[in-house]
Amino acid sequence: MDLSTTYLGLKLPHPLMPGASPLVDDLDTVRKLEDAGAAAITMHSVFEEQINREQVASFVHTESHGQSFAEALTYFPSPEAFHLGPNEYLEHLRKVKQAVSVPVIGSLNGYTTGGWLEYAKLIQDAGADALELNVFSLGTNPQESGAQMELRTVQMVQAVRKAVRIPVAVKLSPYYTSLAHFATKLDEAGADGLVLFNRFYQPDIDVEKLEVVRSLHLSDSTDLLLRLRWLAILSGRVRCSLAATGGVHTALDALKAVMAGAHAVQLVSVLLKDGVESLRTVRDGLARWLEEHEYESLRQAQGSMNLTRCPDPKAFERANYAAILQSWE
């Protein structure tokens, strides 16, 4: 079965790859991921805080919205808490690139234009075949509108796109006022791909210690549903590639993402829970389903259930909300 796809201009044998996670911090695991059939390797994100915390502090004091942002900095771990420091990250990226024959996608999480630009170039120079910009933006400032936040991200993407030669994907959260409009603006700004979606890990409260505590829960297949909706809405409406991340645990999950419009499918939680060999299991199951249902290739299924091509487009829109509520028993 021909499972080939093109993502960020990269021709891949199939759409499955590990998403950004600590899995790739270990070279032996990276090699095992390639042996299990990973079509590409997505690096763990390097955070701007790791690279130059003093620069971040300066930015906080000079930008108009810095007052609320300063408080937000305390939610990020100190540089010592990261597995790899910035220099170690770049060196590790070089080693990963040497260790595998598949494309390697660097990942960057920043929030100053200077930080995005400088470290995007460093990741490119370290040998990455593509770059994923992991946008983690919380609207905590009541004086800043959603449009202002979105414009800042669009301008950042434009700047990065001009500064590097490699393809650039933008990893988003679903929490934007008008996600479809924002996605088209990113597409117009030169983004080569959109990754749906980043997961905002929600803090919890320890009521006895009166502390905010970190809370981490791995995804399950129900988390995929939100991704399917927006993949289907954006598929065919943007020029850039689309990737699904979050909630893909089985071959059928991957198939649904592809049918909704994904060119690439990233796996993380299932690899952490069931081991890297589960990637092979998902790939083989995807090929088997397509063969059993007499598809000639993966591309035949790609986008076949998006908003413009599916038999019932209203299922992705508001009409589905009323229908589900009315059908509850």
In the chain the domains, ranked by start, together with CATH numbers, are: 5-327 (3.20.20.70)
pLDDT score recorded for residue 41: 98
Give mean pLDDT, residues 14-33: 96
In terms of C-beta distances under 8 Å and separation of at least 24 residues, what long-range contacts does 9-13 make, across chains too? 9/167, 9/192, 9/241, 10/40, 10/103, 10/129, 10/130, 10/167, 12/39, 12/40, 12/103, 12/264, 13/39
How far is 267 from 36, CA to CA, in rounded Å? Answer: 13
Cβ atoms of 167 and 191 closer than 8 Å: no
Distance CA 19, CA 83 (A): 17
Residue 117's alpha-carbon distances to 21, 74, 82, 123, 207, in angstroms, are 22, 24, 21, 10, 41
For the ranges 195-204, 246-255, 262-271, 288-297, the lowest mean pLDDT is seen at: 195-204
Rounded to an integer, what distance in angstroms lies between the CA atom of residue 26 and that of residue 126?
Answer: 17
pLDDT in tens, 93-118: 999 999 999 999 999 987 777 778 88
Confidence of residue 140 (pLDDT cuts 50, 70, 90): confident
SS3 318: coil
* Residue pair 3/286 in contact by the 8 Å Cβ criterion: yes
Of 72, 83, 91, give the one whose Cα is nearest residue 25. Answer: 83
Residue scoring higher pLDDT (45 or 98): 98
Q: In this structure, what DSSP letter does residue 24 have? A: G
Q: How far is CA 178 from CA 22, 181, 235, 262, in A?
A: 32, 6, 16, 20
Angstrom distances, CA of residue 115 to CA of 111, 179, 189, 232: 7, 25, 19, 33
pLDDT of residue 75: 42
> Do 197 and 226 touch, CB atoms closer than 8 A?
yes
Mean pLDDT is lowest, of 34-43, 110-119, 218-227, for: 110-119
| Alpha-carbon gap, residue 22 to 52, rounded angstroms | 21
Average pLDDT over residues 36-53: 82
Q: Of how many residues is the chain composed? A: 329
pLDDT band at 129 (very low <50, low <70, confident <90, very high): very high
Are 134 and 142 a contacting pair, CB within 8 Å?
no
Helix locations, the chain, DSSP H: 27-35, 48-51, 53-62, 66-73, 86-99, 113-125, 146-163, 179-188, 224-234, 251-260, 269-274, 278-292, 298-301, 319-327
Q: How many other C-beta atoms are found inside a 10 Å radius of the C-beta of residue 47?
A: 24
